[in-house]
Structure 1
Amino acid sequence: MLTCYPYFGVDAQWGSRLPPEVFFRAIAKAGEMVTGQPAAALEAASRRCYRRALATPNDYDNVEVPGARVWCSTDRDNPYFSVDIRRPQGK
């Protein structure tokens, strides 16, 4: 989903806590179109954010890369994974 307010970015969700490889590639390509940052960097940040979210007690985290911020969340009780790639505010 493309989001334009209150920030400009893309958001995607997967119906389990274990998204397939293609999920990370697809959201990174969409993020590249929105932020102008390389898809490879956004894919790596999405994977890193995913691992960090799984390890935190509150089930969410974020990772900053030059020109973008990746937010992600999961839920121990309801299996899903969500990732959001945003442009920095004001850009």
Structure 2
Amino acid sequence: MVKIRLQRVGTKKMPSYRLVVADSRAPRDGAFIGIIGHYNPLTEPKTIVIDEEKALYWLGQGAQPTATTTRLLSKLGIMQKFNTIKEKTWEKT
């Protein structure tokens, strides 16, 4: 199964995260398929940068976001856009 999840980068006690698409069996900081954004919880306000086009593509391909990633995607409105797109495709069929 393909997941959208956070991959920790940065130094000790100064975490920063990449939002990556990876196989669920791969280690947290291991191999990944692609990078769709990054998240820095240490800046004020917290920095969240996500490529909306890539995120919607991978969600459409069946990638499952983790709980934290779902929260970040919802904060930027990407999950709402995906849900409306999904509803429209269901209405057509």
TM-score between both structures, scaled by the size of structure 1: 0.27
TM-score between both structures, scaled by the size of structure 2: 0.27
Greater Rg by CA: 2
**Counting strand residues as a fraction of each chain, which structure ranks higher?**
2
- Compare relative contact order (CA 8 Å, sep 6+) and give the higher one, 1 or 2: 1
